[in-house]
Chains A and B, each alone.
Chain A
Amino acid sequence: MTATESPGTTRLSKRRTYRRLMYLAVFGGTGIGFLLRYLDYPVVGEAVYWVGIVAFIAVWKGSDVQLMDERDWALERRASLSALQIVGATMVVVASGSRLVTWLTDYTVPTLVWGALYGYIGLFIVFGLSYLWHRSRL
């Protein structure tokens, strides 16, 4: 530590470094994994993906500084709520539109769209269960 560095700045710098490392691990692992799968190395790609995930958890749980504080959690809560609202609104419109198109026209809605809609329904079921669990504890 130099004369101009306080323990506070050192901790902040360590926090920043660990957070960058954490995100680098997960995004790097996912990205390189995807690339390797694309290049026909599926098993290696999957291994790299898991290395990224495990490294993310290792940095998150293993670092000696607090990586997230209450504002970070508040930001995550707000972002999650916004995402859920956007997904919810999209699901309502797209589901209705897909049903109408299927009934009224000869167009066949791609199975990918139905798959995405069922995925959204699954997400909202998990949300509902999670909500009930938290409500029972609050």
Chain B
Amino acid sequence: MKNELDEYRSRDGLSQGELADAVGVSRQTINAIERERYNPSLELAFKLAAQFDCAVEELFDPALDGSA
């Protein structure tokens, strides 16, 4: 799924590892989401949105995916 995770993470100056630690997953999981190879669970999507203080739909856009 298309997402803005990379942009939000860079904006806050976080590494993938730091973000992963903040939301309780592995760095590989954050990397997979950023590369659009893995769609996070709702729970993780909400955690990520809370981390960046934004709405889930600002972070993830299924409409841009082409498969939605």
Contacts and interface: CB of A to CB of B under 8 A. Distances in A.
Interface of A: 6-9, 11-12, 15, 66, 69-72, 74
Given A71-B25, A71-B26, 7 more contacts: A7-B21, A8-B18, A8-B20, A9-B17, A12-B17, A15-B26, A71-B32
What's the dominant secondary structure at chain B's contact region?
helix
A69 B24 contact: yes
Interface residues of B, number: 18
B46 to A, nearest CB: 13
Interface of B: 15, 17-18, 20-22, 24-29, 32, 38, 40-41, 43-44
Contacts of B38: 71, 74
B41 A12 contact: no
Contacts of B18: 6, 8
A74 B29 CA distance: 11
